[in-house]
Amino acid sequence: MRAANDSFEAIRKEILRAGTVLLAGHTNPDGDAIGACLAFAGALEKSGRRAGVLLEKYAGKYGVIPNSHLLVSPETAEEADLFLSLDCGDLERLGAAKEIFLKTPMRINIDHHESNTGFGLLNYVDAGASSTSEIVYELIHEILPIGTEEAAGLYAGLIYDTGGFRHSSTAPGTMQIAGKLMECGIPFTAIYNEFFDARSFSEAKILGKAIENAELLFGGKVICSTITNAEIAACGGTNKELDAIINYLKGVRGVEVACFFYEKTGTEVKGSFRGNDGYDVCALAQKFGGGGHVKAAGCTIAAPIAKAREMALAEVEKMV
Ligand SMILES: [Mn+2]
């Protein structure tokens, strides 16, 4: 059981006392981790403090989040008196920033993952918050300046973790904070488009190929598609551009379970599954050594793609 949260008051006191602050989010950072770190660091900089952000190299779409001039590397990071870990569930998820975190005299952990281990000297974890960016807004908006850049970063975190205000984590308070951030004149349309709509041409072509290959099975309850490395190459892309496919398939009306398979290597196939209420695709993935969530899971199957599809569909048939 994690210890109780420290108060905003205690955490704010440490923030205001610090002269140099380092911040970091989790490895393979997402929109919330990047948005929260760069916004918080920007507000610290605007208040006259020195701030540096440690984040792994991130995808191009996150370039829409301002304040990237504050990014530093573990080699160039200066010694700080305060380290803020944001959106990071445990120490290991800090990656290369972990050693620096442990060397810093004051260490604060701010997060919204239920599994957070409470690894800071001060901790604030709210699993009910939509995003770490939402917590950061609540924490700093009365004590640090939030300009357009910082508002854009926090807004990016909010929309990323709520899937554009869709997921059940979206609360009235989330929308109220989004409204406050919007008042700062942020480019909210550009942020949304970058996160949810924009894609490379090859990614669009691959999506088209995957839809063309899709079949309805078992009375329309199951949709299944596969794509081979040769097909991906013919679209001019790579197998890093397949994220949008499974949800697109799952969107077909009447479908209870969606399955998508692609060739990870010549001998390994990656399977992704999505299920409606009442269909445990995590249990399905576990039959092949994978896992995930009840409604979204995946696995790797060591077989040629046609065989892997056949093996997985035999298990799916038992479910429906
Ligand atoms: Mn998050």
Q: What is the mean pLDDT of residues 228-252?
A: 94
Could you tell me if 54 and 145 lie in one domain?
A: yes
Distance 126 CA to ligand 1 centre (A): 11
Mean pLDDT of the chain: 96
Could you tell me if 247 and 184 lie in one domain?
A: no
Could you tell me if 64 and 153 lie in one domain?
A: yes
131: CATH: 3.90.1640.10
At residue 17, does pLDDT exceed 70? yes
Distance 55 CA to ligand 1 centre (A): 14
Could you tell me if 143 and 24 lie in one domain?
A: yes
Query: What is the secondary structure of 165-208 as a DSSP string?
Result: TTSTT--HHHHHHHHHHHTT---HHHHHIIIII---HHHHHHHH
Could you tell me if 184 and 212 lie in one domain?
A: no
At residue 1, does pLDDT exceed 80? no
In a domain, residue 3? The reply is no
Report the alpha-carbon distance of residue 66 to residue 270 in Å, rounded.
35
Report the SS3 class of residue 248: helix
Could you tell me if 246 and 160 lie in one domain?
A: no
Could you tell me if 121 and 215 lie in one domain?
A: no
Distance 10 CA to ligand 1 centre (A): 23
Distance 26 CA to ligand 1 centre (A): 9
228: CATH: 3.10.310.30
Report the alpha-carbon distance of residue 54 to residue 72 in Å, rounded.
6
Report pLDDT for 145. 98
**Angle between the N-to-C axes of helices 172-182 and 148-162, in degrees from 0 to 180, rounded to the nearest 10:** 150
End-to-end CA separation in angstroms for the chain:
38
Interval 249-268: pLDDT, tens = 999 999 999 999 999 888 99
Distance 114 CA to ligand 1 centre (A): 11
Report pLDDT for 291. 86
Of 197, 232, 260, the residue that ends a domain is: 197
Distance 158 CA to ligand 1 centre (A): 8
In a domain, residue 132? The reply is yes
In a domain, residue 225? The reply is yes
At residue 292, does pLDDT exceed 80? no
In a domain, residue 307? The reply is yes
Of 134, 166, 197, the residue that ends a domain is: 197
In a domain, residue 216? The reply is yes
Could you tell me if 217 and 190 lie in one domain?
A: no
Could you tell me if 73 and 190 lie in one domain?
A: yes
In a domain, residue 158? The reply is yes
Could you tell me if 181 and 250 lie in one domain?
A: no
Distance 205 CA to ligand 1 centre (A): 30
Distance 168 CA to ligand 1 centre (A): 14
Q: Which residue has the tokens 């208040």?
A: 47
317 to 223, 284, 287: CA distances (angstroms): 12, 11, 14
Token readout for 115 is 């599994």
Q: What is the mean pLDDT of residues 57-83?
A: 96
Q: What is the mean pLDDT of residues 290-313?
A: 92
Q: What is the mean pLDDT of residues 291-297?
A: 84
Q: What is the mean pLDDT of residues 289-317?
A: 93
Distance 74 CA to ligand 1 centre (A): 22
294 pLDDT band, cuts 50/70/90, is confident
Report pLDDT for 265. 86
Closest CA to 135 of 11, 1, 4: 11
pTM for the predicted model, two decimal places: 0.84
Lowest mean pLDDT among 26-40, 198-212, 282-296: 282-296
Report pLDDT for 310. 97
Report pLDDT for 117. 94
Could you tell me if 173 and 89 lie in one domain?
A: yes
Distance 62 CA to ligand 1 centre (A): 14
In a domain, residue 41? The reply is yes
Of 148, 166, 197, the residue that ends a domain is: 197
Q: Which domain holds residue 22?
A: 8-197
- Report the number of distinct structural domains present in the chain: 2
Distance 148 CA to ligand 1 centre (A): 21
**Angle between the N-to-C axes of helices 31-46 and 148-162, in degrees from 0 to 180, rounded to the nearest 10:** 160
Closest CA to 41 of 142, 193, 154, 130: 154
Could you tell me if 311 and 233 lie in one domain?
A: yes
In a domain, residue 1? The reply is no
Lowest mean pLDDT among 117-121, 264-268, 311-315: 264-268
Q: What is the mean pLDDT of residues 266-292?
A: 93
